[in-house]
Every structure is written in structure tokens, then in C-alpha cells.
């Protein structure tokens, strides 16, 4: 009966360790599907667009989101075209340490015949902690600076000129 109780407590500790590890994983993976973008006006016709993703696979959606945010800002300020002046990779890499699990090693203590105490003190042993685990987290980022133009201020057929209507899906080709 006592051995069963000790085994049940050991199993309960193992379950708690697994739940803690699961909680850490959920925390690290929280919000993986979102790409965020925000724009800041630097001058009357220049803006900085900053985008971030949550994992290494977000590069494509992050670039799309940056272009759409650039088109939205240009539209909001009365511009129809924009040119990307610079693009900077602002990706960050972080290494997170996940603590190791602690395992208790118990072995029966030889007792004289007739001893009836079954306390933890009768089961000496040691403990073993698994090494910490290192998890690498990559958070992609992109900053672009755009210059915006009104109709007639720039040749829309020039290479590198983006039409806000095309970027936002209003038309299928530049006009």
C-alpha cells in the first residue's frame, strides 16, 4: 500500500513536470499566426513601415503585410504611388533556457525484520536533474522606408514604383 502511494506521488510529480513543459511550449508558440505592421510618417511624403512576425516561416506574409501597410499609408495621405527607398532586416534571435526535469531515485533501505515504519526516511536515495534545454526563438522583422507620390509626380511605369490600388487588390494592373 505504501509503495503504491510513493509510486502515485512520483507519477504525480512527473505529470506536473510534463504540464510545466507544455505550458512553456504554449507560451513560446502563442500567437504564431499573426504578422503585425505599423507605419510612422517621417516627413510629408516619407514613411517608415515596421513589420514583425512570430516565427521563421513568417517572412513571406511579413513582406506582403509591409507592402499593404505602405499602400494604406500612402492612400490615407492622398498618394497613389510609392517607392521603397530602403529595406532593413530587423530579425532577432533569442535563446530561451527551459529548466531540466528533476527525477527522484529511491531505493529501499534494508530494515530489520519486524520494522513497520514506512516513512520517506526509510527510502533514502538521490535525485537527478536532466540538463536544461536551449530553445532558439526566431522573430522575423522588416523595416522599409517609402517615399510617396501623387498622380503625375512619378512615372508609374518606372521600375520600383508601386501602385497602391494594385497592392491593395483594387485593380489587377497598373494604370
155 contacts 88 by C-beta, under 8 angstroms = no
Cβ atoms 137, 94 nearer than 8 A: yes
Q: Rounded to an integer, what distance in angstroms lies between the CA atom of residue 56 and that of residue 2?
A: 50
pLDDT given at position 174: 46
Which segments in the chain show pLDDT lower than 70?
A: 1-3, 5, 7-33, 106-125, 171-175
Q: What are phi and psi of 13, to 5 degrees?
A: -65, -40
Give the model's pLDDT for residue 98: 86
| Res 128: pLDDT | 74
Give the chain's domains with CATH numbers. Answer: 1-30+103-132 (no CATH), 35-91+140-169 (3.30.1660.10)
pLDDT of 31 reads 47
Instruction: Output the pLDDT for position 118.
Output: 56
Amino acid at each position: 500500500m505504501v509503495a503504491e502511494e510513493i509510486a502515485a506521488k512520483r507519477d504525480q510529480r512527473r505529470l506536473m513536470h510534463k504540464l510545466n513543459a507544455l505550458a512553456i511550449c504554449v507560451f513560446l508558440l502563442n500567437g504564431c499566426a499573426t504578422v503585425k505592421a505599423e507605419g510612422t510618417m517621417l516627413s510629408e511624403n516619407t514613411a517608415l513601415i515596421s513589420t514583425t512576425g512570430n516565427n521563421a516561416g513568417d517572412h513571406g506574409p511579413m513582406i506582403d503585410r509591409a507592402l499593404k501597410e505602405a499602400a494604406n499609408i500612402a492612400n490615407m495621405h492622398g498618394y497613389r504611388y510609392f517607392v521603397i527607398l530602403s529595406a532593413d532586416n530587423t530579425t532577432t534571435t533569442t535563446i530561451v533556457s527551459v529548466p531540466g526535469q528533476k527525477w527522484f531515485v529511491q531505493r529501499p533501505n534494508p530494515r530489520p525484520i519486524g520494522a513497520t515504519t514506512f516513512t520517506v526516511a526509510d527510502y533514502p536515495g538521490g535525485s537527478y536533474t536532466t540538463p536544461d534545454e536551449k530553445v532558439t526563438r526566431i522573430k522575423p522583422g522588416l523595416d522599409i522606408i517609402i517615399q510617396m507620390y501623387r498622380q503625375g509626380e512619378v512615372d508609374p511605369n518606372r521600375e520600383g514604383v508601386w501602385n497602391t490600388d494594385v497592392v491593395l487588390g483594387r485593380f489587377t494592373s497598373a494604370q
